[in-house]
Amino acid sequence: MKKWGTAAVFGAMVVFLLAAASARQAAVAQQTAQPAVATSGRTADPMRPTSGFDGEIQRHAEQMIDEGRRIFRYDTFGDEAFWGDQLKLHQAIVGQKLGGVGPGVSPKMALSVGLKVDADALPPALAEQLKAGKVDLDDPASTVALLKANAVVGVTAFLNADGTARAMGVQCALCHSTVDDAVAPGIGHRLDGWPNRDLDVGAIVALAPNLKPYTDLLGVDDAGVRGVLKSWGPGKYDAELNQDGKAKGPKDRSGATLLPAAFGLAGVNLHTYSGWGSVTYWNAYVANTQMHGKGTFFDPRLDDKGKFPIAAKAGYANVRNTPDLITAKLAALQFYQLAIPAPKPPAGSFNAEAAQRGEGVFGGQAKCATCHVPPLFTEPGWSMHKPAEIGIDDFQADRSPDKRYRTTPLRGLFTRMKGGFYHDGRFPTLAAVVDHYNDHMKLNLSAQQKTDLIEYLKSL
């Protein structure tokens, strides 16, 4: 065994030296302006350096991903002071019997409002019981067991020594991760970046015994706030309500937007449906002003009393907390999100032949690719459009600093088939989206072209 080990080490060294030599050759080849030599597929890959500053970059990238994943999934940024201490949401979840208030939230209820269970976090005994149907899914005590195992995606309970809940906090993963249902519906392996279109954020927040922080801020009574929260529905949240106080859009629709994908964002300049800023801008915005974590946030655009009366009153344009539990996490958090690829649609979920024809329509007669530029499927540059360009109302655009809509990157559309399309889900199907463009842009697409285009969209 030992001999083989030595031989293997020696072999690896030879391979390494050969690879290093070929890397030098590649470098020389590049210097002499010859075509670059492909270096992938070799055993000791010079593209994955381990020494010098190159090695430092490589290790840094790996650390940032690990750290960013941890933050995205588990960091509450101190927001338990809001969701727990102020709203007392944990009390409603554990219920009266376990030291809280009301009937409590059973796992069945939790799953029905779209909360997801991370099967990999379950202690083996609990996983076994769950598989065998031996966990009482109607008992809030089972929810507490899941929370103790840190298995509820995006929710952390802070427990006292005697097992009762002291507070709870939320994480990015609450809205921006789901699970693959490998164990049961709502229970499986995490899928970070996939929007949780089952999650009814409003219904969950409306469980909170104390909504005074919202009633004070918005100047609306308790029943009014609960009414607004319940008007959102599954897969939606309103990330601007506590800046402008606008709960309703045109035709009495709620002002909430769909939870967007948080994958496939590398190379995309502006984020959110109305392009508030970069990924890291938005992360600071959400962590401070939406999750109510404790950090630092600066955006003087929110000081506009006419446009953002609530933000101006609350001082969201300039948030300072000591200690700051957010700023030091922004770099890794951004890095992780940019590392999440758009998932590929499962085989058989679209007609490949039709999709191929649809690609031609997308880039040709339908003019889609003028804005959704492949392979990013948004414009490189300032990817913002006036509402009239895409033929919709200006309500949500006007709630943002630039009063425009950002071209949505289209990859991984298959993960967001629930809840409709466009920022507020106004088009229930891709067919409705295509019909809208066909009318608005006078594209004159045939029925065949339309179905091909839809298959192409499903293939992205």
User: Is 283 one of the binding residues for ligand HEC (CB under 6 A)?
Assistant: yes
User: Is 289 one of the binding residues for ligand HEC (CB under 6 A)?
Assistant: no
User: Is 340 one of the binding residues for ligand HEC (CB under 6 A)?
Assistant: no
Binder of ligand HEC out of 106, 143, 257, 459 (CB under 6 A):
257
Q: What's at 355, amino acid-wise?
A: A
Of residues 80, 68, 287, the one with CA closest to residue 193: 68
Toward ligand HEC, which CB reaches closer, 163 or 364? 364
Of residues 375, 419, 409, the one with CA closest to residue 195: 419
Binder of ligand HEC out of 127, 249, 421, 458 (CB under 6 A):
421
Toward ligand HEC, which CB reaches closer, 46 or 235? 235
Tell the smallest beta-carbon distance from residue 270 to ligand HEC (Å): 7
Binder of ligand HEC out of 69, 423, 450, 458 (CB under 6 A):
423
User: Is 282 one of the binding residues for ligand HEC (CB under 6 A)?
Assistant: yes
Spatial distance between the Cα atoms of 225 and 92, rounded to a whole number of angstroms? 17
Q: What's at 42, amino acid-wise?
A: R
The number of C-alpha atoms within 13 Å of 101 and in the hemisphere containing its C-beta is 10
Partners of residue 204 on adjacent β-strands: none
Spatial distance between the Cα atoms of 232 and 258, rounded to a whole number of angstroms? 9
Kindly indicate which of the ranges 92-100, 156-164, 304-312, 401-409 contains the residues binding ligand HEC, using the contact rule CB under 6 A: 401-409
**Contact pattern for ligand HEC over residues 152 through 171, marking x by CB under 6 A:** ------------------x-
Q: How many residues bind ligand HEC (CB under 6 A)?
A: 51
User: Which tokens hold the place of 114?
Assistant: 């779209």
Kindly indicate which of the ranges 95-103, 156-164, 299-307, 414-422 contains the residues binding ligand HEC, using the contact rule CB under 6 A: 414-422
User: Is 354 one of the binding residues for ligand HEC (CB under 6 A)?
Assistant: no
User: Is 206 one of the binding residues for ligand HEC (CB under 6 A)?
Assistant: no
Q: Are strands 187-188 and 117-118 parallel, antiparallel or unpaired?
A: parallel
Name the packing angle between helices 52-74 and 330-339 (round to 10°): 90
Going 438 to 443 to 449 to 454, the CA torsion angle's sign is negative
User: Is 108 one of the binding residues for ligand HEC (CB under 6 A)?
Assistant: no
3-state helix, strand, coil in the chain (%, to 5): 45, 10, 45
Binder of ligand HEC out of 63, 349, 370, 429 (CB under 6 A):
370
Binder of ligand HEC out of 226, 292, 372, 450 (CB under 6 A):
372
Q: What's at 456, amino acid-wise?
A: Y
Spatial distance between the Cα atoms of 323 and 59, rounded to a whole number of angstroms? 29
Kindly indicate which of the ranges 28-36, 39-47, 107-115, 257-265 contains the residues binding ligand HEC, using the contact rule CB under 6 A: 257-265
Name the packing angle between helices 447-459 and 352-363 (round to 10°): 100
Partners of residue 406 on adjacent β-strands: 384
User: Is 259 one of the binding residues for ligand HEC (CB under 6 A)?
Assistant: yes
Toward ligand HEC, which CB reaches closer, 317 or 430? 430
- Binders in 222-251 for ligand HEC, by CB under 6 A: 237, 239-240
Q: Which residues of 177-196 are buried (b: 16+ CB within 10 A; e: fewer)?
A: bbbeeebeebbbebbbbbbb
Long-range contacts of 386-392 (CB under 8 A, 24+ apart): 390/440, 391/436, 391/437, 391/439, 391/440, 391/441, 392/422, 392/426
User: Is 416 one of the binding residues for ligand HEC (CB under 6 A)?
Assistant: yes
Binder of ligand HEC out of 316, 433, 449, 451 (CB under 6 A):
433
Toward ligand HEC, which CB reaches closer, 240 or 299? 240
Are 287 and 293 contacting, i.e. CB atoms less than 8 angstroms apart? Answer: yes
- Binders in 171-200 for ligand HEC, by CB under 6 A: 172, 174-176
254: DSSP letter: B
Are 384 and 275 contacting, i.e. CB atoms less than 8 angstroms apart? Answer: yes
Binder of ligand HEC out of 206, 340, 434, 460 (CB under 6 A):
434
Binding footprint of ligand HEC on the chain (CB under 6 A): 170, 172, 174-176, 201, 237, 239-240, 257, 259-260, 262, 265, 271-274, 279, 282-283, 286-287, 291, 333, 337, 366-368, 370-372, 385, 389-390, 392, 405-408, 410, 416, 421-423, 430, 433-434, 437, 453, 457
